[in-house]
Structure 1
């Protein structure tokens, strides 16, 4: 699983497969409501439980053990130019291009703004619920802003759990397939208000200067109190300047969120940056009923905030804006933004913040990143805590949990040589296990997810089997 394609998958924040370049997304539906034992809902059980603060809230770390290594002395091109004519899957990228997280942990970042799901569950009207669900869907990609590091590709059978009583959810994911790579996840509200599940398998395309990750698979959110299910697919993610120049990310494409009970739909357009970067990060769209009547307009930036307003007020403002638009200035040849077919893609300059239309309602605002974020791979405060190994966790976590991966742990601690050695050892161990299964004609058996049909879309999916939080890990594979 080494290679240029592996790197491309990861700089987009996505995992990849060298043989097919595809991924897959998983879902689960649970019949009825799952009872949550809050005595164990901290994710580490009663044994080795971290002592609470005086106010009863556990303090989570605010920085990584070591700052990130500089990548200024490395370039993708310096490696690729020596490998012309070789099979791309044989090219190994230096670990310096990674970030100290598994892709399974990166998926968990969907949950940073889970308060929007709780808010949706509390709303009495379906239109308000859709507004919050739309904001949640947009917020799920916000953490990718300026995140050009590559997460570690999950090993087959790798898992990650996260339980946050303060945020009201618990989460489990598993790498259910290696060829193609498929990461399945499932989360439930500790107040029994929602289920959130899916799997990830983007299709990667290399365009010479950029790598585009086209999303595949369906994400499902169920609001149990309202017996509603919403499904959608994430926008396309593009990483520019993978060969030369400064890496930068944009999201574009249309996201359609469907309420399967009411037929309401939210259509969101993630705008490509355009020639002059004027549309960079912009999101615009609307909520419509089953008869396609527009009920609510939505606008903002996926890196910043999302606003909504009544369609009549929105159109009135846009008409006034168009009438008052000054003529566009012609672009001179000396303009530094002029496209260069052979050079790097120009990084768009910072544009003005979102222009708020009078009468708009704020749907979501991104959390401020910590002051030292640039030295921590541009992680958010939520992300910084994902790989923290609390005292006693080793006795209660599944032995396949990402926190126990020695290569990720080595990189997080600043020991790049150890991280590289361990990464190579784990990948060889995975290859040997695959050869052993082939010799014995044995198929890989997933532990916490199984193949099935998404009950809302009727399409093939990966569904949560259940049982993880009962903590019987006796049959887990030895992957580390």
Structure 2
């Protein structure tokens, strides 16, 4: 193992509630205008000529019960986790490039936004998509493989109407760029991700870095946002669990509308665990609607006046939040050895008159034995017959250490991982000796036209299948 192996995105979570209370038939109809699109996301049994996709991995996950991360992390408290060796047993058989592709699991929400005539309703769908993008993280205790410099990943989903290409464009600091586009020219979705991680003794915090951009081409609208913070608790002792927190601001650069979403810290005994609450406002800061729910479960929208009336009635009929907080704080145990995962509170209490925007899809029954993958994640590293002759030679599916781990051969996976890292180091030394700069293949550093900030932009040409000048990284 080498000491330049970067610790990426080691996020986990806990089971979400299986359903929301108070769901009305009318609300479900609002949410499933594109339900047929959602049902096809990552599932295997398809009809009408749509090809089947796998529903399981070749081998179940390797047990981590006899391994501890304490010996690795105890000297790193307060430091950025940029050069820490992690045993392969803590990985999951996906590259980080494939992990960020999981943003696309709920693409039907983008397609819904494209079809909606009202800009506020479009913003609601985009907000639901932004929340859904982090939903796959709960219960994911493994970290993805660090992409090699020049590594790529493509995904073409004709049944979902899009194609995606991503590339590892920088190694120090690690930056992953992606570009997805509609096959019917409805939207473009792109961004570059470079999270900064720190270890704080019992937890790992991931600071979100990198702008995500969604362009609805037919509406001539562009939305931008940044993901919330992640905190992974109990990386040393106890059950791993995650909370997402911080404010996510989604900006519609065409209308001036904004959506402000507050991913709430769990609070005392998990009172706010997984909760998301916010509102959409116009450019004069008038609230147009309130959005609420859980990122592990579902999101709803409601009229602001209805929301405020419900909130006043709720306070009048029960103990105030301030009094509850003080009671909980007084009874909180001290010097816990682990940050115990709070009990999941009641599911989302649906306010009458609310409209359902999004609901998480259930995971396969065997998910716990398959790295807690969703149906969609289960398909991402599938190498179908004939694909080797079509994919770029830098594609994650062709990476031997990930393939070996997926097949259950941990020893081979570890040896291949070390070989690839050594090959990457040797190539870097050779470039340094020749004073040669690394040249990206499919993305270039430029300016995001909507934010004016620096961003990695797709230069085009990948799907023309001209791979003669791709680097030899495997």
Distance in structure 1 (CA, Å) of the matches to 2:173 and 2:83:
17
CA distance in 2, matches of 1:78, 1:310: 52
User: How many Å separate the matches in 2 of 1:468 and 1:281?
Assistant: 38
Q: Which residue in 2 is equivalent to 1:130?
A: 123
2:195 corresponds to: 202
2:274 equivalent to 1:309:
no
- In the TM superposition, 1:138-177 aligns within 5 A as 138-177=131-170
2 CA distance for matches of 1:143 and 1:280? 16
Larger deviation: 107-116 or 342-351? 342-351
- Using the TM superposition, give the Cα deviation of residue 389 of structure 1 relative to its aligned residue in structure 2, in angstroms: 0.2
1:450-465 aligned at under 5 Å gives the runs 450-465=444-459
Task: Indicate if the aligned counterparts of 1:100 and 1:411 stay in contact, CA closer than 8 A.
Answer: yes
Residue in 2 that maps onto 1:6: 6
Give the alignment partner of residue 277 of structure 1, picking from 270, 291, 309.
270
Give the conservation status (yes or no) of the 8 Å contact 1:339–1:345: no
1:52-451 to structure 2, matched below 5 A, reads: 55-80=48-73, 92-326=85-319, 338-341=332-335, 343-451=337-445
- CA deviations 1:426-468 (Å, max 9, x no partner) are 0000000000000111110000000100000000110000000
1:340 Cα offset (Å): 4.0
Q: Which runs of 5+ in 2 are unaligned?
A: 13-44
User: Aligned equivalents of 2:244 and 2:464: distance in 1?
Assistant: 38
SS of 1:307's partner is strand
Q: 1:367 to 1:424 in 2, by over 3 A?
A: same
Q: Is the 8 Å Cα contact of residues 2 and 93 (structure 1) preserved in structure 2?
A: no
RMSD of equivalent CA atoms = 2.2
How far, CA to CA, are the matches of 2:46 and 2:273 in structure 1? 42
- Partner of 1:276, secondary structure, is helix
The answer to whether the 8 A contact 1:4-1:93 is kept is: no
Given that residues 445 and 456 in structure 2 are in contact (C-alpha distance below 8 angstroms), is that contact kept between their aligned partners in structure 1?
yes
Deviation per residue, 1:386-405 (Å, 9 max, x gap): 00000000000000000000
1:395 and 1:227, CA in 2 relative to 1: closer, same or farther beyond 3 A?
Answer: same
Deviations 1:116-148 (A, max 9, x none): 000000010100000000000000000001112
Q: Secondary structure at the match of 2:58?
A: coil
The separation in 2 between residues aligned to 1:83 and 1:140, in whole angstroms, is: 30
CA contact 1:188–1:196 (8 Å) conserved in 2: yes
Q: TM-score, normalised by structure 2?
A: 0.88
Contact 2:9-2:206 at 8 Å conserved across structures:
no
SS at match of 2:472: coil
Q: Structure 1: give runs of 5+ residues left out of the alignment.
A: 14-51
Per the TM alignment, residue 413 of structure 1 is displaced from its structure 2 partner at its CA by 0.3
**Secondary structure of the equivalent of 1:179?**
coil
Distance 1:190 1:340, change over 3 A: farther
Deviation track 1:21-58 (CA, whole Å, cap 9, x = no partner) reads xxxxxxxxxxxxxxxxxxxxxxxxxxxxxxx9773010
Provide the C-alpha distance between the structure 2 equivalents of 1:72 and 1:407, rounded to a whole number of angstroms: 22
CA distance in 2, matches of 1:451, 1:4: 24
User: Cα–Cα, structure 1 residues 79 and 463, in superposed 2: closer, same or farther, change >3 Å?
Assistant: closer
2:445 corresponds to 1:476: no
Q: Distance in 2 between matches of 1:186 and 1:383?
A: 18
Aligned-residue offset at 1:368: 0.6
Q: Could you tell me how far apart the structure 2 residues matched to 1:178 and 1:296 are?
A: 42
In structure 2, what is the Cα distance between the partners aligned to 1:156 and 1:251?
29
**How far is 1:378 from its partner?**
0.7
1:211 is paired with a residue whose SS is strand
- The alignment's TM-score, normalised by the length of structure 1, stands at 0.87
Equivalent-residue separation in structure 2 for 1:4 and 1:185 (angstroms): 24
Q: Which residue of 2 aligns with 1:40?
A: none
For 1:212-259, what per-residue CA distance to the aligned partner results, in whole angstroms no more than 9, with x for missing partners?
111111100000000000000000011111122211111000000000
Distance 2:126 2:84 in 1: 41
Q: Classify 1:464/1:76 alpha carbon distance in 2 versus 1 (closer, same or farther; 3 Å).
A: same
How many residue pairs match? The answer is 438
User: Displacement, 1:282?
Assistant: 0.1
Q: Secondary structure at the match of 1:443?
A: coil
